[in-house]
């Protein structure tokens, strides 16, 4: 690696700071440029995500289509993690082998894992990190706690996709989001019916006024509102922001 990589900016003095504090992008590349074993240092320096970031900062999804896809990836990660916990919890393991609810949760868990893996694969190097959930508010041994949490996640997911579609610029990404949101809506419907029969499109998900901008449609939510809820289920250091999606 040649000396031409060495930036000439005043950032140079930051090169003296130790690696365990958050470092600016540019100075990160100062390290890279100034060191013969740059690759080794990069890998060593980045081995542990958390050593490089302030635990109080958020994971921002970024801007543009990548931002929307990362936003979706964040929500799918959260859902996938939730259902993975459901499958390990006492409520699910206590269900009879042939119980309909067992099959429903087993199926949904796989759908959400596929969604999360799909976004991770599609985003490749542009993907946000793997998020650490915090489900301490959920009792996975209790049917009501699991079902109401599942309902909250699914309704939130549908509202999130519906509210984020307008931020997508590439038509093919919009179609992908459309393909997923209707499956989330199917999940939401069956979960709601498990809680209360015929609540699959109750008035708390469809605005039945005739005089509002969302009249007679499913309610949707913008990223900031969605993430306020989602972040209550994410650990410190894994909380997500979408500063460019407004």
Partner 1 sequence: MNFFNIINKLSEVDPDVLGRLDTRRSVFSSLNTVSKRAALASAPAFLAAFFSKAYAGTSAGDPKEVFNYALTLEYLEADFYNKMIASAQFATASAVDQASIRQISKHETAHVNLLKTVISGIGGTPVAPVTFKAATFATLTTFAKQLEVAQLLEDTGVRAYKGRAGDLQGIADVTITGVGTINPLQAALQIHSVEARHAARIRTMRGQTSWINGDGDLDNQEHYKGAIPESTITQSGVNLTTGLGTTYTAKDAQASFDEILTVAEVLAPSRAGGLVGA
Among positions 185-224, residues that touch partner 1 (CB under 8 A) are: 185-190, 193, 197-198, 200-201, 205-206, 208, 210-220
CA distance 44 to 19: 10
Find the helix or strand (DSSP H, E) in which 240 lies.
strand 240-241
Q: Which residues, numbered 42-61, are part of the site for partner 1 (CB under 8 A)?
A: 42-43, 45-47, 49, 52-53, 57, 59-61
Q: What binding mask, one character per residue, do residues 25-44 give for partner 1 by CB under 8 A, x or -?
A: xx-xx--xx----x---xx-
Q: By CB under 8 A, tell whether 102 contacts partner 1.
A: no
Pick one of 84, 95, 152, 176: the residue that binds partner 1 (CB under 8 A): 176
Q: By CB under 8 A, tell whether 170 contacts partner 1.
A: yes
Burial class (CB in 10 A: 0-12, 13-18, 19+), 215: exposed
Q: Which residues, numbered 66-95, are part of the site for partner 1 (CB under 8 A)?
A: 66, 70
Q: Which residues contact 41 (CB under 8 A, 6 or more apart)?
A: 31, 32, 35
Q: What binding mask, one character per residue, do residues 103-142 give for partner 1 by CB under 8 A, x or -?
A: -x--x--xx-xxx-xx-xxx-xxxxxx-------------
Shortest distance, position 236 Cβ to partner 1, whole Å = 14
The nearer residue to partner 1, 64 or 141, going by C-beta atoms, is 64
Shortest distance, position 137 Cβ to partner 1, whole Å = 25
Cα dist from 20 to 48, 58, 130, 236, whole Å:
10, 17, 20, 18
Number of residues binding to partner 1, judged by CB under 8 A: 94
H, E, C per residue of 98-128? CCHHHHHHHHHHHHHHHHHHHHHHHHHHHCC
Q: Which of helix, strand or coil describes residue 241?
A: strand
The two three-digit tokens of residue 126, written as one number: 């542009």
């Amino acid at each position: 690696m040649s000396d031409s990589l060495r930036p000439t900016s005043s950032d140079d003095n930051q090169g003296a700071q130790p690696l365990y504090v958050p470092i600016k992008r540019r100075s990160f590349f100062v390290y890279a440029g100034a060191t013969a074993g740059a690759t080794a240092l990069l890998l060593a320096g980045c081995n542990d995500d958390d050593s490089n970031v302030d635990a109080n900062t958020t994971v921002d999804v970024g801007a543009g289509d990548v931002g929307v896809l990362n936003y979706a990836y964040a929500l799918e990660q959260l859902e996938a993690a939730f259902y993975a916990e459901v499958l390990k919890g006492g409520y699910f393991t206590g269900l009879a082998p042939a119980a309909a609810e067992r099959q429903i949760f087993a199926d949904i868990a796989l759908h959400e894992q596929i969604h999360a893996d799909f976004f991770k694969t599609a985003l490749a190097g542009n993907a946000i990190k793997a998020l650490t959930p915090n489900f301490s508010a959920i009792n996975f041994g209790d049917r009501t706690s699991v079902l109401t949490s599942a309902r909250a996640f699914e309704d939130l997911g549908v509202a999130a996709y519906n509210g984020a579609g307008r931020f997508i610029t590439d038509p093919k990404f919009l179609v992908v989001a459309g393909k997923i949101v209707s499956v989330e809506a199917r999940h939401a419907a069956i979960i709601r019916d498990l809680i209360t029969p015929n609540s699959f499109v109750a008035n708390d998900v469809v605005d039945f006024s005739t005089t509002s901008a969302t009249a007679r449609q499913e309610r949707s939510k913008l990223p900031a509102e969605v993430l306020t809820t989602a972040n209550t289920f994410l650990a410190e250091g894994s909380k997500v922001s979408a500063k460019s999606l407004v």
